Chains A and B, each alone.
Chain A
C-alpha cells in the first residue's frame, strides 16, 4: 500500500532528498505564472481597491462610494434585483438540473456518455449564441408566440423578452450545465451498497430516495447551488441582450460606471463588494463540498 501512494505516504528519506534536489527548480517553474498572475491580476485588484476608497477632493481614503451605492435609490434596486433574480435562477436550475442528473446516472454507460455529451455541448457554445437564440424563440414574432397564436390560445403576443422573465429564462439555460455536471459527478460517488441495504431492509423506492439518496447528495446540491448563485451575480451578457436595457443587473451597472458616467471610484467600490460576496460564497461552497462523501 505504501508503494501505491508514494507522494502521500512514501518513505521519509527519499522525500527529504527530493526536497533539497528539486526545490530551486520547482520554484523557477512556478515563478513565470506566479509573476504574471500577481502583476496582471492581484495588483489590478489592489489598484481597484485603492480607487474604491479614493476621495476625489482630498488625499484621505473615504468610504463614501460604498455608502453611495448601498443607499442610493437608483443603484440599490439594481442590487436587490440581481440578488432576487440570482436566487430565482439558482432555484430553477436546481429543480430542473437535479432530476436530470438523477436520470442520467440510471442510464447504461453508453447512454450516459451521450446524455452527458448533450449537456456538455451547450456548455461549450458561446454564451452569445445561446442568448441570441432566445430572441428568435421568445420574441413577439418568435416561435413560441406564433405557435400559441396559431393554436388560438392567445390573441396578443406574450411579452417574454425585455423583462425579467426573459432574462431569467436565458440565465437558467446558460447555467444549467454548471448545475447538472457537478451533481451528476456527486451522484456517481454515492455508495450503491447503502441503497441496496435500504432496499433489503424493506424500504420503498420512495423512502430510499428521500431518506437515503437525497440526504447524501444534499451537500453537493447546496454546494453547486452556491456556485450557480455566484455565477448569476456576475451576469452581464444575458441581461444586456434579453433585458434590452430594461433589466440592468449589477454587472451592467458597473459597465455604466466605467463606460458612460466615468465614475471609476463607484465602479471599484461595487467591484470590491461583489468580490467580497463572491469570496464568502465560495468559502461556503468549499465547506459544503468538503462535507460531500468522497
Chain B
C-alpha cells in the first residue's frame, strides 16, 4: 500500500515545517525571556527574573529621546504618505492618462531598491542642499520610503470598491465631493487605517537611510544599532520586547482591518476565490 508511505511523507513534511517555523520564531523566543533576566550577562535561560532592564530603559533620557523622535517621525511620515499615497492610488485606479504605468513603477521604486542606494543618493543630495541632519529632511525621506506601501494597499482597496457605487451616487445627484466624503471615504477607512499603520511601521523600523541622513538625531533603531556596535547591554532586550509587543499588536490590527476591508479574502482560505 502507498497509504503508509504517504502518511510517513506527510509526517516528515510536518516535522520539517515545524523546525523551519521554530527557526523563524527563535529570535523572539529568546529575546523576550532575556528581557526579564536579573543578570547582566547574556545567559539563556536567565538565572533569575527582574524588571531592571525595563527600568534602565525608562530611566535613560537617551532612549526616551530616541523614542520621541521615532514616534514623531513615524507619525508625520506615515500621515503624509497616507494622504499623498491615497490621492495617487485613486488617480491610478480611476484615472486614464499617458505614462500611468511608468509613474506607478516610479512610486514603487523606493520599496524595491536596496535602501543603501537610496541612502547614498539622498546623502549626497541633502549634503549639496545643506539639509543633511535636519528633521524635515528625515520626514521627507521616510515619506518617500513609506508611500509605495500606501499606494499598493490603497490601489487594491479602491480597485475592490465597485465603481458602480460611485456612479450611482453621482447619478442620484451627489456632487463629486459628497460622493468622496460620504460614500467613498467611509468604505475606505479600514484599508486606509491599515495602510497608515503599515507606513508607520516602515518608518519606525527604518535604519539605513535614517543613519545616513539623521545627523545628531537618534531614532530607536539608530540608537539600537549604535549600542549593538559598541557593547552588549541587556537594556536592548527590554526595548526589543517592547517592539515585539508593538509589532504583534499592530500586525493584529492590520490583519483585522484588512479582513474587514475584504482585502484578505482572496488570499487565505478559499483558493478558488480569485479565479472567478
Contact between chains at B240 and A132 (CB < 8 Å): yes
Q: Are B229 and A240 in contact (CB under 8 A)?
A: yes
Question: B27 contacts A113, CB within 8 Å?
Answer: no
Is A197 part of the contact surface with B, judged by Cβ < 8 Å?
Answer: no
A-contacting residues, B57-97, CB 8 Å: 84-85, 87-88, 90-92, 94-97
Q: Is the CB of B208 within 8 A of A26?
A: no
Task: Tell whether A280 is near chain B: CB-to-CB under 8 Å.
Answer: no
Judged by DSSP, the binding face of A is helix
Q: Assign chain B's interface to a size class.
A: 35 or more
Q: Does B135 contact A (CB under 8 A)?
A: no
Interface positions of B from 207 to 241, Cβ below 8 Å from A = 207-208, 212, 221, 224-225, 228-229, 232, 236-237, 240
Cα A260 to Cα B192 in complex, Å, equals 42
In the complex, which of the residues B91, B122, B271 contacts A40, with contact meaning CB atoms closer than 8 Å? B122
Per-residue A-contact encoding for B165-191, CB less than 8 Å = 1, 0 else: 000000000001000000000000000
Residues A189 and B87 in contact, CB atoms below 8 Å apart: no
Asked if residues B274 and A189 are in contact (CB atoms below 8 Å), the reply is: yes
Q: Which of B44, B103, B251 contacts A30 (CB 8 A)?
A: B103
Task: Please indicate the chain A residues that have their CB under 8 angstroms from the CB of B41 in the complex.
Answer: 141
Further pairs besides A47-B125, A117-B255, A189-B274: 5, Cβ < 8 Å: A43-B125, A100-B21, A125-B244, A132-B237, A192-B271
Measuring CB to CB, which residues of chain B are less than 8 angstroms from any residue of chain A?
Answer: 2, 6, 9-10, 13-14, 16-17, 20-21, 23-28, 30-31, 34, 41-44, 84-85, 87-88, 90-92, 94-97, 103, 106-107, 109-110, 112-118, 120-125, 128, 140-141, 143-144, 147, 151, 163-164, 176, 201, 205, 207-208, 212, 221, 224-225, 228-229, 232, 236-237, 240, 243-244, 247-248, 250-251, 255, 267-271, 274-275
The 10 closest A-B pairs by CB, nearest first: A234-B114, A26-B95, A133-B27, A44-B125, A103-B17, A44-B121, A30-B91, A33-B84, A29-B91, A251-B116
